[in-house]
Amino acid sequence: MDRIVVFALKQRAMVVIMLGILIVAGVVSFVKLNIEAYPDPVPPLVDIVTQSTGQSAEEIERYITIPLEIQLAGIPHVTAIRTISLFGLSDVKVQFTYDVTYLEAEQQVINRLSQLSPLPNGAIPGISPESPVGEIFRYRVYGPPGYSVRDLKTIEDWMLERRFKAVPGVIDVNGWGGKPRTMRLPSTSPN
């Protein structure tokens, strides 16, 4: 231990330079650090959804899903291609290795889809959003003085959630917080 201290005191310039290099490396690492609000522990997964109204699941499979599978086959770093064909809907999931980022995987899929010949009924494949939880819209409910938290929660549950669910493209609405209104009914005994 004494040798290290003596060496550091004799070679002050070198110690200061090494400290500077360490600080610069730390700042560069911090800037490049990938931080996500909802980290996704799975490898990149690109989801391609194609709607074609009026076609049975068999027709969707034959005319949309299989051509998509053929077009997407051979993309580098793909580990699996999973498909589901339903009435009027084709869902193709392309899973990649950890070697590529989601944006790189998505770009490779977009490049392949651009070479796809036109699908029947004018069906156009679309890529689902990146986030594992989908698109999130957060809101708060405020009321005039005199409204309790329970009153605001009741308004949120019975009015706002129903109106949000009526908006086209909204799949689900989950309310958080507040005290839900409860009703207690007295039990009557047969005696």
Mean pLDDT across the chain: 86
Same domain, 100 and 172: no
Whether residue 69 is found in the same domain as residue 116: yes
State whether 64 and 120 are in the same domain: yes
13-28 pLDDT, tens digit each: 999 999 999 999 999 9
The answer as to whether 156 is a domain residue is yes
Q: For residue 111, what pLDDT is reported?
A: 94
Say if residue 138's pLDDT is above 80: no
Number of domains, the chain: 3
- Confidence band of 105 (pLDDT split at 50, 70, 90): very high
Q: How far apart are CA 71 and CA 65, in angstroms?
A: 10
102 lies in which domain range? Answer: 45-128
